[in-house]
Structure 1
């Protein structure tokens, strides 16, 4: 993996990257697996964590390059002054074109590492909009106003449409072309069908944040190949 291929924007204060699914944002407690921050620290003298994405989530993430920039950007996340837009593929047909989810999220005390909707939790706010309804799946946009752990994953489960490929809150099943293409045949060299998408279908697409000079920095991360190919196949049969 070449770091320069992941960078979508860079200044003297920050570096923005399009993180692939499966890569940790920052080192975990074990410290055995490589993370995006590890890769950055090889190239830069100083690198500071501003926010994180779940390992399974792809898309836009920023790191600060100075202590002053780290404080500046982190304060905006804490004060909810950033605009964060995600896109994702959920199971089923979402019949409501757009809506708002206001449901507090708390740590699941029974199943560690997961979150639940619970009144003892912290406020979590998510706006959603249907972009394309494919019947079996729906392509959606999410604007989150809070940054709770697994927020979109928990909220989509709450409305009965968990994210595709979500092993914690959905069925975790990959997407096969044969599931929506009636006349599907394996190629001559294949013994079994390979999934077109085999990971959490959630992507951090856009981020707006003010730079140290006060000007708004509008960032965008294109979809990775697997999600893009999945949507192209669904579009053909829509």
Structure 2
């Protein structure tokens, strides 16, 4: 397994500062945040990708992937630009969410709609560009559980379509044991997001069916046992990136220092 930091964890830092942080704490790579005004700026996509690629490669770090935001109706022309940016950054991995779910449209209809987009629009361009589009397991979306993720992508070529395992998101909605999740994802498991989560005493913002809101925080603290999750990943033979996605309010440097050091310690012990 390789360790990376998702640059959204340090959203207040410039790309070169994110690189310095990742190097300081012995990361293997960086997963780059990609949207308007982000580290990879969609408003200046190619020039931004070239700049970030240069500082990443010169540092000796790998690009673990890019994380854009899709509306699931983007045309091939738009996707080809995102995929070209991935080529510039020397990565095949591109994050993709699934449809948000608010109960107004049946899940089955949303899965059919996104599957159609994946088959007819995304896959031909992904095959042409030799990239892999990875569906992220995410609360409040149709792919909040391992089985929903697998249902969406099952039968599509795993070379070009994958799944991002996110135990932190699943702690909010859709949690299953890591061994079960990994087994369900199977050949589609492409990438892992690392964060922890714990229950608050705040009711506002709670997921439907929960009394209290869940809150992201330090990887070492919370409801998830990351040592057992990483052990399960190792046992499965997973050799991709585990990528820190620290979304809490700690200062960026503190998040990277505390959480990456903790992950490195786990990896040295298992």
TM-score if structure 1 supplies the norm length?
0.30
Larger radius of gyration: 1
Q: Hey, which of these two has a bigger chunk of helix by percent? A: 2
TM-score, normalising length: structure 2: 0.28
